[in-house]
Amino acid sequence: MTTIPQITKDCRTAMEKSFEASKRELASIRTGKATTNLLDTVRVDAYGQTMPINQVASVAVPEPRMLTVTPWDKGLTHAIEKALRESDLGLNPQTQSGVIRVPLPALKRCRPG
């Protein structure tokens, strides 16, 4: 039989997980300004498994509408570029001197219709 303290504990755990998932989702929303959190959902095929991009490269924001991704293993450059292109973020990465530059397109205003 389930007790009230156990139900409370289970509910609290479920709510904390939901809260963390919501925080991750909100952090990846495009606001027109670059943030490293934008790439948190990108997964790269590396070393025979799928890994988050932040485990295979460092991500930086050198300009307000530009991200740079520097792979720790230069052999993963193509895989990272492919993962960025195939993500549902609409990004067009460009590799230059071992660094992947990811320009963020301007957000379009929607006019009520």
Same domain membership, residue 62 and residue 48: yes
Give me the CATH number covering residue 84.
Answer: 3.30.1360.40
pLDDT of residue 26: 67
In a domain, 25, yes or no: yes
pLDDT of residue 27: 60
In a domain, 18, yes or no: yes
Instruction: State the Cα–Cα distance between residues 32 and 106, nearest whole angstrom.
Output: 6
In a domain, 63, yes or no: yes
Same domain membership, residue 26 and residue 51: no
pLDDT along the chain (113 residues), means of 10: 89 92 68 76 92 93 91 93 90 91 75 62
Q: Which domain holds residue 12?
A: 1-30
pLDDT of residue 105: 74
Same domain membership, residue 39 and residue 22: no
